[in-house]
């Protein structure tokens, strides 16, 4: 490996976080959400690491599910966006997938489908997010239609929260109430809780939880939270200093000359940039760790390199370790500096960033 940009991923931390999700509802089950390449952590490796613990997995689309199957994952896999055409339905059959149902047209397609292998249908109800899902008043009719199909082995009722990460927002209470009214009297397993719902909304805990972000150690909440604080950080994004130079007061650094030295400054150039998926929005002053010492980004992020202030740091030279986030600087702490949220910081990392796994 020549390029030094790497994401060090602790699989034991991901296992711990999944078990924490399960512990919130000991009688329930949990889908390990590994969509978007497990939020940038590597879906195949993460799924294999969780294979002994996970009740099932969830992905966004057929391609993600097929990749898991072709790499030896045999546990159930749910398509969170469901199927969209006949080719998708063939894949549901061939790869033995569960599918979300969020549109009445999908039910009509299933009526004309003659799969030889029964599958689970997860009926998604739109309780207020207004992204995917059938209207609440059509829940009973849709449930009965799905339940009558010979190739549907079970119907699970699900919804998704829009504001569960905001613990004082009444929208989640409203969505829970809406979901419970829509499902009243229907004999089916239920699923409401994403990561924020699992950790922060006990009324949302049901038969199935759907932990995603929390698996990777980022809290879905802003600030401290008694359960969010129990998460273990899974990824450390690191690289190395590849050049060091000293500049006098008044000199500028980087594209656009946006940062000017107010004093004699030692500048370190780091092998990391937006070509690696590192956010270009990171502003001067964004904290980083160099050889365990806190410092900051100076100047604009470029495609392949970032410049940092080494002034006053000890023992730093070419080859010194740089940490952008991890145990010391958490995703939750640094995300605002990138004008972003933890989800995007890890998910946007490109294949150019080598993934290095601990505790396989």
Model pLDDT for residues 53-96, shown as the tens digit of each residue: 999 999 999 999 999 999 999 999 999 999 999 999 999 999 99
- Say how far apart CA 346 and CA 360 lie, in whole Å: 20
- Interior CA angle at 93 toward 89 and 98, to 5°? 80
- Say how far apart CA 184 and CA 190 lie, in whole Å: 11
Model pLDDT for residues 290-329, shown as the tens digit of each residue: 999 999 999 999 999 999 999 999 999 999 999 999 989 9
Q: Where are the alpha helices (DSSP H) in the chain?
A: 11-24, 35-40, 43-50, 62-70, 86-94, 104-111, 139-147, 171-183, 195-200, 331-334, 342-347
Write out the DSSP string of 74-116: -S-EEETT---SHHHHHHHHHTT-EEEE-SHHHHHHHHT---S
What is the distance, to the nearest Å, from the Cα of residue 11 to the centroid of all Cα atoms in its chain?
15
**What Cα–Cα distance (Å) separates residue 236 from each residue in 5, 298, 337?**
11, 21, 17
Show the tokens assigned to 157: 């009722």
Phi and psi (nearest 5°) for 51?
-60, -30
255 has catalytic annotation: yes
Q: Which residues contact 124 (CB under 8 A, 6 or more apart)?
A: 82, 100, 101, 102, 132, 133, 134, 158, 159, 160
Model pLDDT for residues 105-164, shown as the tens digit of each residue: 999 999 998 877 899 999 999 999 999 999 999 999 999 999 999 999 999 999 999 999
pLDDT of residue 1: 53
Residue-wise over 216-243: b if at least 16 C-beta within 10 A, else e?
Answer: bbbbbbeeebebbeebebbbbbbbbbbe
233 has catalytic annotation: no
Return mean pLDDT, the chain.
96
Task: Quote the percentage of the chain above a pLDDT of 90.
Answer: 92
Q: Which of 33-47, 129-143, 146-160, 215-229 has the lowest mean pLDDT?
A: 215-229
pLDDT of residue 287: 98
Give me the CATH code for the 235-358 domain, please: 2.40.37.10
Model pLDDT for residues 250-299, shown as the tens digit of each residue: 999 999 999 999 999 999 999 999 999 999 999 999 999 999 999 999 99
Give me the residue label for tokens 């719902």.
197
Model pLDDT for residues 177-202, shown as the tens digit of each residue: 999 999 999 999 999 999 999 999 99
Name the pTM for this structure. 0.95
pLDDT of residue 248: 98
Q: How confident is the model at residue 224 (pLDDT cuts 50, 70, 90)?
A: confident
Residue 252: strand pairing partners: 260
Domain with CATH 2.40.37.10 in the chain: 235-358
Domain with CATH 3.20.20.10 in the chain: 11-217
Q: Which of 267, 236, 261 is nearest to 248 (CA)?
A: 261
Catalytic residue among 18, 22, 35, 39: 35
- Architecture field, domain 11-217: Alpha-Beta Barrel (3.20)
Phi and psi (nearest 5°) for 238?
-135, 160
pLDDT of residue 115: 77
């Amino acid at each position: 490996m020549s390029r030094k940009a790497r994401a060090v991923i602790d699989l034991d931390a991901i296992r711990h976080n999944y078990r924490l999700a399960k512990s919130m509802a000991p009688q329930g089950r949990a889908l390990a959400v590994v969509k978007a390449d497990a939020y940038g952590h590597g879906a195949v490796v993460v799924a294999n690491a969780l294979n002994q613990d996970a009740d099932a997995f969830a992905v966004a689309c057929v391609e993600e599910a097929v990749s898991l199957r072709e790499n030896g994952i045999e546990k159930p896999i749910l398509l969170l966006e469901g199927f969209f055409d006949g080719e998708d339905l063939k894949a549901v059959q061939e790869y033995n997938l569960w599918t979300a149902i969020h549109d009445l047209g999908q039910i009509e397609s299933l009526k004309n489908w003659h799969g030889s292998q029964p599958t689970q249908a997860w009926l998604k109800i739109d309780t207020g997010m207004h992204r995917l899902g059938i209207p609440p008043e059509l829940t009973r009719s849709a449930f009965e239609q799905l339940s009558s199909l010979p190739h549907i082995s079970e119907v699970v009722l699900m919804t998704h929260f829009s504001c569960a990460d905001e613990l004082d927002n009444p929208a989640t209470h409203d969505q829970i109430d809406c979901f419970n009214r829509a499902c009243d009297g229907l004999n089916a397993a239920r699923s409401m809780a994403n990561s924020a719902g699992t950790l922060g909304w006990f009324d949302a805990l049901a038969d199935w939880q759907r932990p995603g972000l929390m698996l990777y150690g980022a809290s879905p909440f802003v600030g401290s939270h008694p359960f969010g604080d129990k998460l273990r950080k899974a990824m450390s994004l690191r690289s190395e200093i590849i050049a060091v130079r000293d500049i006098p007061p008044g000199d500028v650094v980087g594209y656009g000359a946006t940062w000017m030295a107010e004093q004699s400054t030692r500048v370190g150039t780091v092998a990391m940039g937006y070509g690696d998926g590192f956010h270009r929005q990171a502003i001067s002053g964004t904290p980083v760790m160099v050889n365990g010492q806190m410092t900051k980004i100076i100047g604009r992020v470029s495609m392949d390199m970032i410049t940092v202030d080494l002034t006053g740091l000890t023992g730093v030279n070419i080859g010194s370790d740089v940490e952008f986030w991890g145990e010391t600087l958490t995703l939750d702490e640094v995300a605002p500096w990138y004008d972003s949220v933890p989800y995007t910081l890890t998910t946007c990392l490109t294949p150019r960033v080598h993934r290095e796994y601990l505790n396989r």
